[in-house]
Chain A
Amino acid sequence: MSDPISRDDVAHVADLARLRLTDDELDHFTEQLAAVLEHARDVEALDVADVAPTAHPFELSNITRPDEVRPSLDRDEVLGQAPSTEAGQFRVPPVLGEAP
């Protein structure tokens, strides 16, 4: 059995998910997530070690498309939806560092 989700866990998870929570929200969400996870303990307790996981309801495989060029979108239409653009590109505030 795992420990119930803690306030620190929720803060960490919010951070991973790029969400900011106020102290009140943190309390509130911790309580609610703990209740949902408590309910999920019936699953946690099941012995399903010998059961294969299902990622997908049906067993399709090898679905591919031919390597043929299809029309791309009009750039003005694409950039027209963006909050900020410059020189045909999407503009963002400084990224601070490389991707992980």
Chain B
Amino acid sequence: MSPTSASTATAIAEAVRSGERSAREVVDEHLAAIEAREPELHAFNLVMADEARASADAIDRARAAGEQLGPLAGVPIALKDNLCTRGIPTTCSSRILEGWRPPYDATVVQRLAAAGAVAVGKTNLDEFAMGSSTENSAFGPTRNPHDTSRVPGGSSGGSAAAVAAGFAPLSLGSDTGGSIRQPAALCGVVGVKPTYGSVSRYGLVAFASSLDQIGPFATTVDDAALLLEVIAGHDPLDSTSIPQPAPSLRSELGRGVEGLRVGVIRELTGEGIAPDVARRVTAAADALAVAGAKVDEASVPAVAYGLSAYYLIAPAEASSNLARYDGVRYGLRVDASNSPEMMVASRTAGFGDEVKRRIMLGTYALSAGYYDAYYGKAQRVRTLIIRDFAAAYEDFDVLLSPTSPTTAFAFGDKTADPLTMYLNDICTIPSNLSGDPAVSVPYGVGDDGLPVGVQVLAPAMQEATMLRVAAALEASR
């Protein structure tokens, strides 16, 4: 399943632009791959075959008419099913939104269309992006293409599996506590969580607003950079969007790591990390040293509190973001004799257990008498984490850690105890709390032969340096 050079997004776009291949031919090939293996994997909630062919044909016509084609001309892309697509069902893998057709497109969806990308489907996820295995999807789990008895990770498991299975060279996910990076690691693909505010959240169905960020999945660092260049940049429809143009990333990738200071995060390489995963992180550090980087151990003490802070902040925001699913304006309604009862009946029937758990946790953390002890405290811890990262970045250009403590686990392994599942996110959560970017790069396999991901972290808006390091790791495999 390792990508051939002809199947990368950059190669496809080049071939379509030059006329060597038609967009239609490319999309048909990918739809055939989907048809062959989708029943086994369930990466998609919806395959948009007709729409995909129609947009591919439109690109071919545009080329025939002599129009300038975009940077993703004819490139198939899978979209996480929490990104709004006009007139096309957007479910968040929840019964409560089943059948909802948004009357608008997310900003990223618009930018993809403008760049010539061809959306092939909406991918499965843990309900409302709450989970680390896609087992919380109301429509059944996605399977890991490397071993179908294992989870693909989550919450963007469908997007990771789609790229890993060759259903599309690119996909988009969202990352609130690791939901891009962890499934990327478990499925052996590249996954980027950009700087908070660098990609517009307009049209991303919110889980935790101060942590959510949309980002790319790809088979190569170069492809991930290409996609990020297309979707990043200021959007006036998102007040938290950083008012700066999208950075140039691809041009930096080949610069190597000579002289870069790389710190391996001590607090994320010891206890709780499987030895085979830890060994791959060491191997990655060694490879960077060989390539000329100055590698040393780094300390970011407050990351130890990341999980606790995250599981107070994210549910608190989620409890409010998910209040709107009340059966009045869209989505599921379970009838009752009065409105308060109708709301209770609709929400009780429409949400799965994990969503209910987090709504209740967040409601509790915000409720009178507990705000200061929980939510207020967690926000102060967030400040500590930001400070500790800032201190580490005085000495280092980038930081290194595992992405996930283990390789892909079996279905049902961690569903009984929510806390065990949450512990999957210890390495990824700190970047969401700090707002800084991070990327997971496939770096060999564990003892079970399944992919291991190494995480490269960087200061805000330093995606170019971060991806340079990721590209060096990719080259050293």
Contacts and interface: CB of A to CB of B under 8 A. Distances in A.
Interface of A: 2, 5, 9-10, 12-14, 16-20, 29, 32-33, 35-37, 39-44, 46, 48, 51-58, 60, 63, 65, 73-74, 77-78, 81-84, 90, 92-96
Given A43-B305, A81-B100, A96-B338, A18 B311 contact: no
B210 A53 contact: no
Given A54-B383, A73-B103, A18 B338 contact: no
Given A13-B364, A19-B348, A57-B434, 11 more contacts: A13-B363, A18-B343, A32-B417, A39-B419, A43-B309, A54-B382, A54-B383, A58-B242, A77-B103, A90-B329, A92-B339
Given A42-B305, A43-B309, A48-B381, A18 B339 contact: no
A58 B460 contact: yes
B328 interface: yes
Contacts of A93: 335-339, 341-342
A16 B121 CA distance: 36
A72 B45 CA distance: 30
Nearest to A32: B418
Interface of B: 100-101, 103-104, 196-197, 210, 236, 239-240, 242-243, 304-305, 307-309, 311-312, 319, 323, 326-333, 335-345, 347-348, 351, 356-357, 359-361, 363-364, 367, 370, 373-374, 376-384, 386, 417-419, 422, 433-436, 460
A48 B308 CA distance: 14
A83 B336 CA distance: 13
Contact of A53 (B337, B382, B436): B382
A62 B30 CA distance: 45
Contacts of A57: 196-197, 210, 386, 433-436, 460
5 contacts: A43-B309, A55-B210, A57-B436, A83-B333, A96-B339
A19 B210 CA distance: 25
Nearest to A5: B364
Given A48-B377, A58-B196, A93-B342, A40 B434 contact: no
Given A17-B363, A43-B309, A57-B434, A95 B338 contact: yes
B311 A40 contact: yes
Contacts of A10: 360, 364
Contact of A82 (B236, B240, B330, B419): B330
B238 to A, nearest CB: 9
B196 A40 contact: no
A21 B416 CA distance: 18
B348 A20 contact: yes
Contact of A35 (B341, B356, B370, B417): B417
A13 B203 CA distance: 29
Nearest to B384: A51
A20 B197 contact: no
Contact of A36 (B311, B323, B340, B367): B311
Interface centre among B196, B242, B323, B338 (most CB of A within 10 A): B338
Contacts of B330: 81-83
B359 A19 contact: yes
A18 B326 contact: yes
Nearest to B342: A93
Nearest to B236: A65
